[in-house]
Amino acid sequence: MVYNKTLKREIPVGWDDTNLFRIARYFNGLPIKKYRATGDDYLPVIKIREMNDGINSNTEKARIDIPREAIIDDGDILFSWSATLDVKIWSQGKGVLNQHIFKVTSDKYPKSFYYYELRNYLQHFKMMADLRKTTMGHITLDHLKQAYICLPPILLIEQLNRMIEPLFDKQLFLEKENRSLIKLRDWLLPMLMNGQIAIK
């Protein structure tokens, strides 16, 4: 172990320090008012409500000719940086990202690394928002630049990712399966209740 002046603690020899801004790219969603759907072809708009509660009949609709970087799909990492601070793996198909949510990606580091580093820092971000005593706490790119973390060697990160990636895939599959079962339940239950169908 060796003392790291930036982190103000000991870290393993050969490890380094960095910050959350350097390990990933953060694309902020778009103001959807400019891209509202006018026809039958549309994509659901993913706001903080949809990020937490899922897509429903009240979800806004956006045009499909929206900038490609604003489109999200299963497995993407979403970070809501305003009001409700949270980090989630998206699992509800294609959608358009609304402002106040970052889509987090990286060309260098695997998804598991920046996902867990963001999750690990989340409580600290919430504490920062509470200390500002505003009605809507939010995290800026400057906060990400000041969020210092310990950086293992890339080979170690990739080795860990090979163990975690199958778990990510399984979690995504199970979440999608659960949503399908919930839809089936919600469709069948009213018919069972009013006697339209019966179970032998």
**CATH number of the domain where residue 156 is located:** 3.90.220.20
199 lies in some domain:
no
What integer is the mean pLDDT of 155-168? 96
pLDDT of 166 reads 95
108 lies in some domain:
yes
Token code pair at residue 183:
């839809």
Residues 6+ apart with CB under 8 A from 71: 43, 94, 95, 96, 97
What integer is the mean pLDDT of 164-193? 92
74 lies in some domain:
yes
Q: Which residues pair with 104 in a beta bridge?
A: 26, 77
Number of domains in the chain: 1
Whether the per-residue pLDDT at 6 is higher than 70: the answer is: yes
Q: How far apart are CA 20 and CA 26, in angstroms?
A: 10
Q: What is the pLDDT of residues 28-72, one digit of tens each?
A: 999 888 888 887 889 999 999 999 888 888 899 998 888 899 999
pLDDT of 163 reads 96
pLDDT of 181 reads 93
Q: How far apart are CA 106 and CA 152, in angstroms?
A: 16
Q: What is the pLDDT of residues 63-96, one digit of tens each?
A: 888 889 999 999 999 999 987 889 999 999 999 9
92 lies in some domain:
yes
189 lies in some domain:
yes
pLDDT of 111 reads 95
117 lies in some domain:
yes
Range of the domain at 183: 2-193
Q: How far apart are CA 154 and CA 160, in angstroms?
A: 10
38 lies in some domain:
yes
30 lies in some domain:
yes
Ramachandran assignment for 37, one of left (phi > 0), alpha (psi -120 to 50 degrees), beta (any other): beta
Rounded to the nearest 10 degrees, the angle between the axes of helix 154-193 and helix 111-132 is 80
Whether the per-residue pLDDT at 119 is higher than 60: the answer is: yes
Percent of the chain having pLDDT more than 90? 63
